[in-house]
């Protein structure tokens, strides 16, 4: 049985248009279509990992590159203060089952989140 591609896989494969703000060999950064802050982008690995809970030691490079891509994007865009969020599972707000980081900025972030 062939699994349907996630929307992120379709964007990575250029089957669906998106505003890609930055791209590396391992990841893409794009605007969130339902922003929760003035700046809300997604950092998505090109290699699909379904959830942060399914990551393993073989995925260490992917995980490190996601964080590096997020911080590089922030620095290049003059974003000094931001929040990084990774949702895991539907109760946590995960709607696309392809690991990704939300980078949010441009407003004060409350604590606790949620």
Residues 6+ apart with CB under 8 A from 112: none
Q: Let me know if 100 is a catalytic residue.
A: yes
Tokens of 104: 């949010």
Tell me how long the chain is: 114
The CA distance from 2 to 23, in Å, is 27
Q: Which of 51, 97, 98, 100 is catalytic?
A: 100
Token look-up 């203060």 returns 81
By annotation, the residues acting in catalysis are 100
């Amino acid at each position: 049985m062939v699994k349907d591609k996630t929307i992120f896989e379709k964007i990575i494969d250029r089957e669906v248009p998106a505003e890609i703000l930055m791209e590396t060999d391992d990841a893409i950064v794009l605007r969130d279509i339902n922003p929760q802050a003035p700046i809300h982008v997604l950092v998505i690995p090109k290699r699909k990992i379904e959830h942060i809970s399914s990551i393993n030691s073989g995925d260490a490079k992917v995980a490190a590159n996601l964080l590096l891509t997020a911080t590089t994007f922030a620095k290049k865009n003059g974003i000094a203060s931001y929040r990084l969020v990774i949702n895991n599972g539907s109760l946590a707000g995960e709607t696309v089952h392809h690991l990704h980081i939300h980078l949010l900025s441009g407003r004060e972030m409350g604590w606790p989140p949620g």
